[in-house]
Amino acid sequence: MRFEFVVFKSVVDLLSSVNAYFSAPGIRPFFALDSYRGYIMHLTALGTDRDEIVMLAFVTKGSIPAGIIEYDLVAKKFAQVENISRPDKLYFAVVEPQSSTVGDQVVAAYESSYSQ
């Protein structure tokens, strides 16, 4: 598995960009995010390159609470909520896996590519 990264300076930048890349007009966006080992990430399969799966990984260092996150794109603020109720907001399902082999691969590939 190979990862192509889109790296962000903040959680807010990641939330805005995931929405911009994957939302469609007239559809209320709802995206899954992983909060894992000090990173927030959204993974999408791009396809294959010969026999290798290529994944697009949106990544930033940080934390965000697990659960449903409501994001206001105009105000660039997010909050944890109990339900999805507002058509003018964006929503994310944030999970905190105890362990993740794919998450471990993303973190290792990211740290080896972007270590300072």
Long-range contacts of 68-75 (CB under 8 A, 24+ apart): 68/92, 68/93, 68/94, 69/15, 69/33, 69/93, 69/94, 71/15, 71/16, 71/19, 73/16, 73/19
The domain segmentation of the chain, as residue ranges, is: 2-114
Residue 46, pLDDT score: 87
pLDDT digits (tens, 9 = 90+) for 66-89: 999 999 989 999 999 999 888 888
Instruction: Provide the terminal-to-terminal Cα distance of the chain, rounded to the nearest Å.
Output: 24
User: Full-prediction pTM beyond 0.95?
Assistant: no
